[in-house]
Amino acid sequence: MLQKAPSPDALVIAGRSFRSRLFLGTARYPSSQLMLDAVAASGTEMVTAAIRRVMPGGEEENMVELLAGRVHFLPNTAGCYTAKDAILTAELAREALETNWIKLEVIGDRDLLYPDVEGTLRATEALVAKNFVVLAYCNEDPVICRKLAEAGAAAVMPLGAPIGTGRGIHNPHVIEAICARSKVPVVCDAGLGTASDAALAMELGCAAVLLNTAVSKARDPARMAAAMRLGVEGGRLAYLAGRMQKRDYAEPSSPPIGLVGT
């Protein structure tokens, strides 16, 4: 994929510049064509997919061909429950797809799909030592986010809510604290349901948002993808503009000078 000239407000991860701050998953769409339509409508420059889905014999073996030249492809280790399995999966992805970028997922709970904190940290350390660019999915914990960055993660990806729930951001104050402290880009990942959730993530200071189910399970995936694009763009602009201070009492927006009776 050709690299574009960086925009004035480009997102930079591991030296790669992205104009779009919206990343999109490719799973659970009703059809490949709807997935392609959503990718186009989102304006995304990076999509993710579980490596098992794009290996020979996988359910969407031709996905890479469908998206070739359009976007940067980010394989992920979804479905891995140990650091060992995640490391092996990342190595298979690098060999098959010729990329050292990996979205690292090490799941610790099969029902909640919450990350295994210790396993994620071990896998990050091992993959960084093998020259991978690691984007690490993690829980909304400032401590683990700091430790992952110190271990060499190129970005940390705290969840907004459990994967696929569409419940939005459960702990906005904590996400905001993570963003304020992080030395690497923070990508809000998992649990978002609609454009206002994406806008809030960006207003809190996230560098980007990653979505899948919110778009793929929408009644109109392409239209929801477009809405998410605008939500991310609007939220980023609001963050850069700086919101007004919240007040406990009303304050008139017009000066009282010249009012009748004054």
Residue whose structure tokens are 């000066």: 255
103 is known as an active-site residue: yes
C-alpha to C-alpha distance for 169 and 211, rounded to whole angstroms: 13
By CB neighbour count within 10 A (0-12 exposed, 13-18 middle, 19+ buried), where does 242 fall? exposed
What is the number of other CB atoms lying within 10 angstroms of the CB of residue 64? 14
What is the number of other CB atoms lying within 10 angstroms of the CB of residue 238? 14
- DSSP helix/strand/coil, 181: helix
**Per this entry, what is the length of the chain?**
262
The letter for the amino acid at 26 is T
C-alpha to C-alpha distance for 156 and 134, rounded to whole angstroms: 9
The letter for the amino acid at 135 is L
C-alpha to C-alpha distance for 40 and 44, rounded to whole angstroms: 7
Sign of the dihedral through C-alpha 128, 132, 138, 142:
positive
Which residue is catalytic, options 103, 147, 183, 246?
A: 103
Instruction: Name the DSSP letter for residue 107.
Output: B
Q: Which residues are marked as active site?
A: 103
